[in-house]
Structures are given as C-alpha cells and as structure tokens.
C-alpha cells in the first residue's frame, strides 16, 4: 500500500529534551512538508523540502530542525529551544515540486511535553 507513515502516534517527553518525529513515504514523491496544528486552529508550515539534501524554513521554523538524506524520509527534530512544543504534528508529501502539487498527509503524531 502506498502512503505516508508517521511514528509514533503519541509521544511524551520531559521539558528540555530533544525529540525526533519520523515521516516516511513510499509514493516516490519529491516534496515533503512538516506542519504543526494547535487545538482549534489550522495547520502552520514548519519546514519543507522539494528535493533530497535541500530544505527551506516555513512560517514557524524556530526551535525545529530537519534533514532530507533520502527521498522517502523527512524526520523532524523538536529541540529544547521550541518554547511551546506540545501540538499535533503532520507530515505531507507532494509528487510535483513547486506550487502545483497536490499535498497528501500522514496520520500525525501528537506530542506532549511536560
């Protein structure tokens, strides 16, 4: 089955710890994205990558880091510098680079930091 997988579904961490969220896709898509969703709100873009070994900051990149060493994988690290990391994190991918690609989403990871 082709799709986007995110793991784990729920993640709990103590304040001050870095945590890495996994995103894998087997759709052979070039572009991948990370979004954050807070309760009752829409999604906001954290980082995106249109090709392997290249990525750009989105609207809320502070306190996050990413890597894109393989086409199918785009892990997101939430660092201790992120002031309010508790949120729902969604990964997406698109088969076309640039503005014309339809984006498809994974099931998300709910991160709770206490």
Q: Report the residue number, 46 or 78, with the smaller CB distance to another protein.
A: 46
> Is 93 an interacting residue with respect to another protein (CB under 8 A)?
no
- The residues in 44-83 that bind another protein, with binding defined as CB under 8 A, are 44-45, 48, 50, 56, 58-59
> Is 39 an interacting residue with respect to another protein (CB under 8 A)?
no
Q: How far is the CB of 106 from another protein (least distance, A)?
A: 8
Beta bridge partners of 102: none
CA distances from 50 to 14, 57, 82, 86 (A): 32, 12, 24, 27
> Is 25 an interacting residue with respect to another protein (CB under 8 A)?
no
Q: State both tokens at 39.
A: 């309760």
C-alpha to C-alpha distance for 9 and 27, rounded to whole angstroms: 20
Burial of 99 (0-12, 13-18, 19+ CB in 10 A): exposed
Binding site residues, another protein, CB under 8 A: 31, 33, 35, 37, 40-45, 48, 50, 56, 58-59, 88, 90, 92, 94, 96-105, 107-108, 110
């Amino acid at each position: 089955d082709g799709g986007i997988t995110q793991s784990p579904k729920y993640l709990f961490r103590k304040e001050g710890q870095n945590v890495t969220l996994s995103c894998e896709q087997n759709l052979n898509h070039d572009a991948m994205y990370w979004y954050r969703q807070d309760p009752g709100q829409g999604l906001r873009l954290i980082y995106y990558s249109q090709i392997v070994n290249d990525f750009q900051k989105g609207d809320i990149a502070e306190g996050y880091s990413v890597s894109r060493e393989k086409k199918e994988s785009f892990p997101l690290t939430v660092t201790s510098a992120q002031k309010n990391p508790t949120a729902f994190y969604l990964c997406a991918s698109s088969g076309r680079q640039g503005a014309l690609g339809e984006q498809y989403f994974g099931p998300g990871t709910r991160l709770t930091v206490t």
